[in-house]
Amino acid sequence: MRLADKLALGYAYGTSLLAYMVDGPPRPFSATFAVTNRCNLRCSYCNCPLIDPTNLDLPRIEVLFDRLREMGVRRLGLAGGEPMMRRDLGDIIALAKERGFWVSVNSNLTLFARHPERLERADLVYTSLDGDETSHVAARGDGSYDGVLAAITRLVADGKPLIAICVVTEHSLGHVDALLRLAESIGFRMHFQPQCVDTDVVRGAVSSSVSNERFRAFWRGLIAEKRKGRPIVSSSPYLEFLSRWEDFSISAYYAPGVRCAAGRGFLYIDPLGKAYPCVYVKGKTTPVDLLAHGWREAWNRETPCTRCTVGPMLEFNLLFERPLSAAVESIHAYA
């Protein structure tokens, strides 16, 4: 990451954290924008391809990005569905870079061999690896492994930072060491996150064949591997939190007296420009149309939950709940 990006992100996060600590007007430093719900895969735990396939065109995306910039956002994650389904993904990234955003893209990479130019200007690429080929296909469907390792290898060889996400299910529990060995041999890093349930963008349920104690033991094992220096980008506070989660069949709940930074430090925008405090509460709260209204003025400051295991949202929330330890690890991991 360039020094200018570090300084811009650091300032944006610092002002966002200060606003959160004094309970001032929300000033998110990070936004995730789902550029489309369309996807060429049908993962067993993802509902996005079954949602409205329409999305914003480039002129309206420009308006959205200008509004995000005015809000103080500096980190922009482009997600889906599968972002590479959009022929204009490269143009979307270019619009974001013109406005000074640090841009990550979450892609399954099955389309990369045909369209490598679409990720050229991304600062960071996220992809998915749910174990070996058999386990990956069991969770993500036929064709989901095709070309992925070749794409990862090429991106890493070209100097593109890459993080592979493993959704922890009954299929992937036994593949940690193999995934970490693969990451070490190619030069990427791994992030692990629980399967999420009970919200619009996901489907399915956590398998009853895996006990909560086995899941907790899995997260404790990751803590031990991370301490050995293995390429796990998931933060220690995040891993420790998950190692104490009581019931993995529940992804989130409301805990009285506990705050959540969703909407204040980060937010999620669907393919039509509707904004939510985070992706998990889509369908549970009233969205704000960012093409028509300002987030600070229109958001009602409410979230239906304050504790969760929703991978990226938990990491972001810990930046505000435990700013010193979580932020130090994030700087080390991404800088």
257 touches 222 (CB < 8 A): no
Which residues partner with 163 through β-bridges?
A: 126, 189
β-strand pairing of 288-289 with 274-276: antiparallel
Name the one residue in this structure whose structure tokens are 């996220």: 126
13 touches 29 (CB < 8 A): yes
Range of the domain at 298: 3-334
Angle at 49 (CA atoms; ends 249, 60), nearest 5 degrees: 115
pTM for the complete prediction? 0.95
The predicted model gives 94-108 an average pLDDT of 97
User: Which range, of 4-8, 65-69, 70-74, 98-102, averages the lowest pLDDT?
Assistant: 4-8
pLDDT tens-digit series, residues 210-237: 999 999 999 999 999 999 999 999 999 9
Name the band, by pLDDT with cuts 50, 70 and 90, for residue 335: low
> Which carries the bigger pLDDT value, residue 122 or residue 333?
122
185: tokens are 């041999």
H/E run at residue 191: strand 189-194
Outline where the chain has alpha helix (H): 3-21, 58-71, 89-98, 133-140, 148-157, 176-186, 212-227, 236-242, 295-298, 311-321, 323-334
Among candidate residues 116, 124, 42, 40, the one with its CA nearest the CA of residue 82: 40
184: tokens are 């070490």
User: For the chain, first and last CA: distance in Å?
Assistant: 5
In angstroms, the CA 182 to CA 198 distance is: 32
pLDDT tens-digit series, residues 260-300: 999 999 999 999 999 999 999 999 999 999 999 999 999 99
How many separate helices (H) and strands (E) can be counted in the chain?
11, 11
Among candidate residues 191, 186, 180, 195, the one with its CA nearest the CA of residue 106: 191
In angstroms, the CA 251 to CA 285 distance is: 16
Residues belonging to the chain = 335
Task: State the maximum Cα–Cα separation within the chain, in Å, rounded to a whole number.
Answer: 50
CA-based radius of gyration for the chain = 19
User: Which range, of 96-100, 101-105, 128-132, 328-332, averages the lowest pLDDT?
Assistant: 328-332
- Burial bucket for residue 159 (CB in 10 Å: 0-12, 13-18, 19+): exposed
In angstroms, the CA 79 to CA 99 distance is: 18
pLDDT of the residue at 322: 87
Give the count of beta carbons closer than 10 Å to the beta carbon of residue 214: 12
CATH number, domain containing residue 119: 3.20.20.70
User: Cα separations (Å) of 322 from 6, 171, 306?
Assistant: 20, 32, 15
What's the domain count of the chain?
1
Name the one residue in this structure whose structure tokens are 């391809």: 49
Angle at 193 (CA atoms; ends 8, 6), nearest 5 degrees: 10
In angstroms, the CA 92 to CA 107 distance is: 14
